Structure 1
Amino acid sequence: MGIDLLDLVFRVEKRFEIKIPRDAMHLLLHEGNTADPPDNLWTDICVGDFVGLIETLVAEQYPEAAVDVFAGVRLDIMDCLQVEEQEVTLDAWLGRDLGME
């Protein structure tokens, strides 16, 4: 995962006005699909796992906030990866299914 992931992280941080700690992203990357990643990637991340991380961070950093995290993350993924809304599901993989490099 490279520049696409960085772009997505920056977009999500801006949208939700949060900071995504490097150690949290590092853990997510290492817990992703490392056994069978797409060509040219060493890991892959499930959209649902990424959304779960963002939900946790929003709840920690803004406990009073009531936001639809998946809807916001979906928009950022669509913009970042130039994919259609119906492609971005909680079960989709950022690399394998959505073409993240």
Structure 2
Amino acid sequence: MGIDLLDLVFRVEKRFEIKIPRDKVHELLNNGNTFDPPPNRWIDFRVSDFLELIEVLMAEQKPESKLNIFEGVKQDIMDCLLVEEEEVTLNAWMARDLGME
């Protein structure tokens, strides 16, 4: 798990006041694209994969929440990876498209 991913996980945990179990992050990595990751990477996953994880955890931990999960996750990705808003789409690859290390 890279520093960018750890930073993003911490940001999302703080924003939504949830706990993201590290085994869930490892599942995300294990289920990611290992067939053709970008150069110098062993894995990549899409923004939608990360968002789906956060949505599940929010439903479990904060079912009463009315927060816009995608907007919060998008903001945290922008702040963490220093990318522009239009780059953070559901189909964007975290490493290949957004430069996550």
Q: How high is the TM-score relative to the length of structure 2?
A: 0.97
How far apart in 2 are the matches of 1:18 and 1:41? 28
Which residue of 2 is the match for residue 68 of structure 1? 68
Which residue of 2 is the match for residue 29 of structure 1? 29
How far apart in 1 are the matches of 2:34 and 2:23? 17
Residues 42-69 of structure 1: CA deviation (Å, up to 9, x unaligned): 1011000100100110110011111111
Which residue of 2 is the match for residue 42 of structure 1? 42
Residues 22-43 of structure 1: CA deviation (Å, up to 9, x unaligned): 1111110011111111111110
Amino acid at match of 1:30: N
Unaligned runs of 5+ in 2: none
Deviation at 1:82, TM superposition (A): 0.5
Which residue of 1 is the match for residue 8 of structure 2? 8
Deviation at 1:76, TM superposition (A): 0.4
Q: How high is the TM-score relative to the length of structure 1?
A: 0.97
How far apart in 1 are the matches of 2:4 and 2:61? 25
Residues 71-96 of structure 1: CA deviation (Å, up to 9, x unaligned): 00000000000000000000000000
Taking only aligned residues, the RMSD between alpha carbons, in angstroms, comes to 0.8
How many residues align? The count is: 101
Amino acid at match of 1:38: P
Q: Runs of 4+ in structure 1 displaced over 4 angstroms?
A: none
How far apart in 1 are the matches of 2:91 and 2:98? 11
